[in-house]
Amino acid sequence: MPSSSRSYVRTLVGFLLAGIFLYLAFRDVPLEELWVTLLQVKVGWLGVFLLIAGVSHLVRAWRWKYLLSHLKANVSVHRLFSAVMIGYMMNNLLPRAGEIARAYVVGKLEGISKSSALGTIVVERILDLVSFFFILCAVLFLYPSGLDALFADVARFRPLFLGGSVLSIVFLVYLFLKSESLIGVLKRLRGVLPHRIKDRYEHLLDAFAAGFRVVGTRRNVGMIILTSIGIWICYVLTFYVSFFAFETIASSDVGLGGAVVLLTFSTAAFILPAPGGFGTYHSFLTYALVQLYRVDAPTALSYSVATHEMGFVLIVIVGVTYFLKDHLKISEFRGDLKEPG
């Protein structure tokens, strides 16, 4: 199948997926009840949510500066923030298009090889995964009550959470200090994989290796780790402060541990290829609030709608603003990333 046809199929599947999950999220909640619940939202707390969300995007741009420092010194954080927000905006339109958009924008604005910029985004994904696991373990170690709905005696898991958080930090440091050794270990694992996935594994491993070759610096490892953790702290706080916008949730025992659990559900929702997480986010978070924390369905769906749509609008407004300011065209993103690294 031609690549253009595959792209159309993926886009169609993404929108179908969004439609299915939107139906699942809204089917049992009367729109009148949803509207009444939304009218009772304390808007000030959603303003705090937007502020923290904006800071998380800024910290991501700040971290990117360190990841790109080997390619170009003193990259403008403002331009990186522009690229990040445009990338997020593109992801809201077409799943997985944001990474290419980000690489294109920073390449155009800062004169950096687009393929090299894309390599640093591969490294970002790895850092996000490991730092998310650190935050998950650390917060659940401090606030294990977030899992009370899942386990009768959650306290017995606290040593595991502590161990997970420590191992995450050790692994983050190891990624930068010994990435060549890690890649060597991963290459040896290729021999035990089923033949049908070896090519895909090889491709991912090459992207992983190329990404760390692009970053190629160890002097900024401390700031890269701190900013990586800072991004996920901001994400947890966006969920947590939003609880206070809904009296029913604020008066429950969801707490900071529950915010981490919701972040986990949200992360899973955005992995699926629905544009902007539409439907998947609403369905996953509503399910978690109702089934795990016994929040009533209208309030749970209202929380999902308010947090998703506020974040979506923030990204679209800021992304479009920078898109127009930087005189970009969507047709430009169709250009390839074939220039030499």
Confidence bin at 339 (pLDDT 50/70/90): very low
Tens-place pLDDT, residues 208-219: 777 777 676 667
Per-residue pLDDT, 333: 63
Question: Residues 6 or more apart from 16 whose CB is under 8 A from it?
Answer: none
Would you say the pTM of this structure is higher than 0.95? no
Query: Among residues 127, 134, 115, 109, which one has the least CA distance to residue 66?
Result: 127
Q: What is the mean pLDDT of residues 64-85?
A: 91
Q: What is the mean pLDDT of residues 289-310?
A: 94
Query: Does residue 148 have a pLDDT over 50?
Result: yes
How many helices and strands in the chain, by DSSP H and E? 14, 0
CA–CA dist 310, 304 (Å, integer): 10
Element (H, E) at 310: helix 297-325
Mean pLDDT of the chain: 85
Query: Does residue 302 have a pLDDT over 60?
Result: yes
Per-residue pLDDT, 4: 57
Confidence bin at 139 (pLDDT 50/70/90): confident
Per-residue pLDDT, 43: 95
Question: Residues 6 or more apart from 311 whose CB is under 8 A from it?
Answer: 49, 50, 53, 238
Per-residue pLDDT, 336: 47
Query: Does residue 340 have a pLDDT over 60?
Result: no
What separation in angstroms does the CA of 240 have from each of 6, 146, 162, 217, 231?
A: 39, 12, 21, 35, 14
Q: Mean pLDDT lowest for which of 10-14, 259-263, 301-305, 315-319?
A: 10-14
Q: Name the residue ranges covered by the structural domains of the chain.
A: 13-334
Q: What is the mean pLDDT of residues 165-174?
A: 85
